[in-house]
């Protein structure tokens, strides 16, 4: 990540007052239409209909599962961030596959308050290369997705491939209760679909623009307010400079921060805060026609340990 960084004191002690204000989110409400009466169908028609329903349902299930593996997010229409019937507190009861959102013991994000320093220095092992990408408006965020597997991250001796990057506004992870202006998530997967996410917290405090957001800005503008719209990024995108290699980092075992909230995700949160301008943060808000936050509240740490690594 280009720009000036300010290192979080270790253990983290400072406070940062976010300028974010609560915003309302308009949720789509769909009514049901009564089916018109029709003559009894023939046996052949019934059989054909059942086959169609089975095939379509099976195909949809496969598509949903694959989307979950690749992106780790479900349709924005199915959940929200307000304190209402589809908000974070209710995610666990909205769908049976999402139960862990409510009863999981290793959920993300968290508030980082107590850390365990590691005696051995361990630089972040990234081998990123430029690659072809597409960018999509997912209704709740903008997602940059790689078409190839050029970029690798090694954690605990296991290699993960960078699949996609997306942004949350404001940040989901907090430091001593401090919430920052935005957070970038770099989502990686290994062949078994296990995930590792590298997170960079962003602040407008210094007023400096963020190089990544500057690069993505034209695409954000093209896709603003167009849910499910997607476009090709003409030039190869190189993420090799997106993370400050001199930064220490926090690491813990967590989960996806959106439904289905799958656990077993290795989180790495960089301890140096990246820069962003207010205009860039405002551009992240254009993902929906109604301005809305897309940050899940902090979850209980339970018996987990947050490790701190120097480099």
Which positions are annotated as active-site residues?
Answer: 140
Contact 147, 161 (CB under 8 A): no
* Closest residue by Cα to residue 256 from 297, 195, 300, 203: 195
Tell me, rounded to whole angstroms, the distance of Cα 104 from its chain centroid.
18
* Closest residue by Cα to residue 108 from 241, 265, 246: 265
Contact 214, 275 (CB under 8 A): no
CA distance 6 to 247: 10
Helix (H) or strand (E) holding 178: strand 178-179
Cis status of the peptide bond prior to 200, with omega within 30 of 0: no
Collapsing DSSP to helix, strand or coil, 101 comes out as helix
Task: Using the structure block, give the residue that is written with the tokens 């209710």.
Answer: 90
């Amino acid at each position: 990540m280009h720009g000036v960084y300010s290192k979080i004191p270790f253990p983290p002690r400072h406070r940062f007052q976010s300028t974010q204000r609560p915003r309302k989110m308009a949720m789509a409400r769909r009514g049901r239409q009564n089916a018109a009466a029709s003559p009894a169908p023939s046996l052949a028609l019934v059989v054909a209909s059942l086959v169609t329903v089975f095939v379509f349902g099976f195909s949809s299930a496969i598509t949903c599962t694959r989307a979950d593996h690749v992106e780790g997010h479900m349709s924005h229409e199915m959940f929200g961030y307000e304190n209402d019937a589809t908000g974070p507190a209710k995610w666990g009861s909205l769908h049976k596959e999402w139960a862990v959102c409510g009863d999981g013991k290793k959920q993300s994000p968290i508030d980082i308050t107590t850390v365990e320093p590691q005696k051995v220095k361990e630089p972040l092992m990234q081998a990123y290369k430029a690659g072809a990408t597409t960018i999509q408006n997912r209704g709740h965020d903008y997602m940059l997705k790689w078409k190839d597997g050029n970029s690798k991250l090694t954690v605990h001796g296991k290699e993960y491939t960078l699949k996609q990057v997306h942004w949350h506004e404001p940040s989901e992870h907090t430091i001593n209760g401090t919430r920052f202006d935005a957070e970038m998530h770099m989502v990686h997967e290994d062949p078994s679909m296990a995930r590792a996410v590298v997170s960079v917290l962003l602040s407008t405090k210094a007023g400096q623009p963020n190089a990544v957001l500057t690069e993505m800005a034209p695409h954000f503008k093209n896709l603003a307010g167009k849910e499910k719209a997607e476009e090709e990024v003409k030039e190869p995108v190189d993420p090799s400079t997106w993370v400050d290699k001199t930064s220490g980092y926090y690491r813990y075992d967590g989960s996806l921060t959106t439904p289905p909230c799958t656990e077993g995700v290795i989180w790495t949160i960089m301890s140096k805060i990246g820069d962003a301008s207010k205009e860039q943060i405002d551009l992240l808000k254009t993902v929906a026609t109604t301005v809305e936050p897309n940050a899940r509240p902090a979850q209980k740490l339970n018996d987990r340990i947050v490790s701190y690594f120097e480099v």
